[in-house]
Amino acid sequence: MIRLSHVTKEYPRSGRALDDVSFELRKGEFCFLTGHSGAGKTTVLRLIHMAETPTSGEVRVSGYSSTRIRRKDVAMLRRKIGYVFQDFRLLQDRTAAQNVAFALEVTGARPAVIRAKVAKLLAQVGLASKAQAYPSELSGGEQQRVAIARALAHDPLVLLADEATGNLDERATWGIFELFRSINSAGTAVLFATHDLDLVRKSVGARVIELDHGQIVYDSATVTV
């Protein structure tokens, strides 16, 4: 579903961020992406989101190729990808429900359809009772749940999480992580970039890809025992 083949990414001033990175994420798979600061995690996610293009190599996502995709197809592709950030990025002047609805309004869906979908999404992330709250009235963990509900609005094939628990305490981190796991059990693939090795260690059996200076130094899927 997602395949990076010999991807190298160079930025004009900072040089090589990724160096010959190849891996595949299958439909419904859960995978951690770890590595020190600057290792290239966010760059991998941005390439999958086609917010960046590789300097060489190819990124394929759900039938689209980074070498051929047209600008107008990028918007279509992004509906298949949910993106969750460390800092939530909610609209502060909109309620939880309005934040989620906003993602659906761009598709031109009817208001009644949007209302029903928003209610379902907020219930799915355990936030039905806070639908009318503004972000400033929500805890960090609750704000992240809203951001996850928003990311799920288009029933994406994959959720990309970039340090999605980076601003949360241990308890909230675990709650959000469990939410990602339950979303994954329902069939959505998850690529979860994190510094939090504690989280990785506790998740026995999950796939782990480790980046170091832009190269994959470990991929549990290719380790044979």
To the nearest whole angstrom, how small is the minimum distance from the Cβ of residue 42 to Mg ion?
A: 3
Q: φ, ψ for residue 46 (rounded to 5)?
A: -70, -30
Q: Does 43 bind Mg ion (CB under 5 A)?
A: no
Place of tokens 């209302």: 115
Q: Among residues 42 and 99, whose Cβ is nearest to Mg ion?
A: 42
Q: Which of 41, 60, 145, 207 binds ligand ATP (CB under 6 A)?
A: 41
Nearest to 171 by CA among 140, 147, 143, 133: 140
Footprint of ligand ATP on 166-195 (CB under 6 A)? 195
Quick check: 111 and 161 in contact, CB under 8 A?
no
Residue range at the interface with ligand ATP (CB under 6 A); choices 35-43, 75-83, 113-121, 169-177: 35-43
Q: Among residues 18 and 125, whose Cβ is nearest to ligand ATP?
A: 18
To the nearest whole angstrom, how small is the minimum distance from the Cβ of residue 147 to ligand ATP?
A: 17
Q: Does 42 bind Mg ion (CB under 5 A)?
A: yes
Question: By rule CB under 6 A, what count of residues binds ligand ATP?
Answer: 13
Q: Among residues 17 and 118, whose Cβ is nearest to ligand ATP?
A: 17
Residue range at the interface with ligand ATP (CB under 6 A); choices 32-40, 64-72, 73-81, 196-204: 32-40
Q: Does 39 bind ligand ATP (CB under 6 A)?
A: yes
Q: Does 17 bind ligand ATP (CB under 6 A)?
A: yes
To the nearest whole angstrom, how small is the minimum distance from the Cβ of residue 53 to Mg ion?
A: 18
Quick one: three-class SS letters along the chain? Answer: CEEEEEEEEEECCCEEEEEEEEEEECCCCEEEEECCCCCCHHHHHHHHCCCCCCCEEEEEECCEECCCCCHHHHHHHHCCEEEEECCCCCCCCCCHHHHHHHHHHCCCCCHHHHHHHHHHHHHHCCCHHHCCCCHHHCCHHHHHHHHHHHHCCCCCCEEEEECCCCCCCHHHHHHHHHHHHHHHHCCCEEEEECCCHHHHHHCCCCEEEEEECCEEEEEHHHCCC
- Give the whole-angstrom CA distance, residue 125 versus residue 191: 18
To the nearest whole angstrom, how small is the minimum distance from the Cβ of residue 182 to ligand ATP?
A: 26
Q: Among residues 40 and 54, whose Cβ is nearest to ligand ATP?
A: 40
To the nearest whole angstrom, how small is the minimum distance from the Cβ of residue 41 to ligand ATP?
A: 3
| Binding footprint of ligand ATP on the chain (CB under 6 A) | 11, 13-14, 17, 35, 37-43, 195
| Binding footprint of Mg ion on the chain (CB under 5 A) | 41-42
